[in-house]
Amino acid sequence: MLKNNKLKEKKYAFFGSPKFAEIVLDNLIKKEIKPAVVICNPDRPVGRKKIITPPPTKILALKNNIPVYQPEKLNPEEIKKKFGQIDFAIIAAYGKIIEKEIINLFKDGVFGIHPSLLPKFRGASPIQYAILNSEKYSGITIYKMNDKIDHGPILIQKKIKIIDKNYLEVEELLAKEGVIILYKILKNIINNSLILKTQDHNQATFTKKINTEDGFIELDDLKLALLGHKDMAQKIYQKILALGNEPGVYTLIKDKRIKLLDALLEEEKLILKTIQIEGKTPTNDFDKNIFNI
């Protein structure tokens, strides 16, 4: 239930699965704005050993005695039967398209927390794309959802500096700021007194899901960056910031994978700080001649 007296009779559902959603949910709980249910993806096999692992939001919800619902496919009748009338929904990185039948369940609306300044960087990987694109600023958007991806009208946005921050830093920053600005307009959501701004769809840009191959760097390109090729150094530095944690940034030397875990830019050169040679532990004490430059 919601903390404010005016909101006590309102119930909301929280949709979200990964770390970004967990940070959002955690900060909502800290503000005593607990959802009636957390709807997240089913437990999945993770890692080389394929260990069945629950989504981060499920773990957090169960710790806080919040019911969890994990359907493979959302079913409006089942949601209504299990949880009764829920007034509105908040969605953060749920990872599935929310169809009109689901949106119509919630009389006060469905509201997305998206880590970009919409309409820029719609889709699955807005944080990574902003970093890869060397954006000095990104931001967080609260918008009213429709049945198109990140398409609905905007309630509120906040522009945030992200330069020289890695993915994990930006993720946490934007998730926390998302709750702060959501809190500011929560009464408007409840009272249905929203001021909505239509997105300029002509300015929309789109992102795709990041995969392992996106983290690959040609050895010749890495050598250029290490020798001081300004543009290549910047490009690889941004890739390490964006993808170094997940899925990882790597090159190949004699068919052996070398992960590039941390780096900095110094006098237009890429300086590698931490690497991991295949089969070994990460190290910042390595022979620079490994790259044959």
| pLDDT above 70 coverage of the chain, percent | 97
H/E stretch holding 13 reads strand 12-15
* pLDDT tier, 6 (very low <50, low <70, confident <90, very high otherwise): low
pLDDT digits (tens, 9 = 90+) for 103-119: 999 999 999 999 999 99
Domains in the chain: boundaries: 5-207, 212-291
Nearby residues of 245 by Cβ (< 8 Å), 6 or more positions away:
166, 167, 168
Q: What is the pTM of this model?
A: 0.94
169-196 residue pLDDT tens:
999 999 999 999 999 999 999 888 999 9
Q: Give the pLDDT confidence of 44-99 residue by residue, as tens digits.
A: 998 878 899 999 999 999 999 999 999 999 999 999 999 999 999 999 999 888 99
Give the helix ranges, DSSP H, for the chain.
19-30, 56-63, 76-83, 100-103, 126-132, 167-191, 219-227, 230-243
Q: Does 1 score more than 50 pLDDT?
A: no
Which class in CATH covers the domain with range 212-291?
A: alpha beta
- Per-residue pLDDT, 139: 98
Whole-angstrom Cα distance, residue 151 to residue 215? 28
Residue 2 pLDDT > 70, yes or no?
Answer: no
Peptide bond into 56 cis (omega under 30): no
pLDDT digits (tens, 9 = 90+) for 121-147: 999 999 999 999 999 999 999 999 998
Contact 105, 185 (CB under 8 A): no
**Residue 8 above 70 pLDDT?**
no
**pLDDT bucket at 245, cuts 50 / 70 / 90:** very high
Task: Please tell me the predicted confidence (pLDDT) of residue 293.
Answer: 55
| 5-207: CATH topology | Rossmann fold (3.40.50)
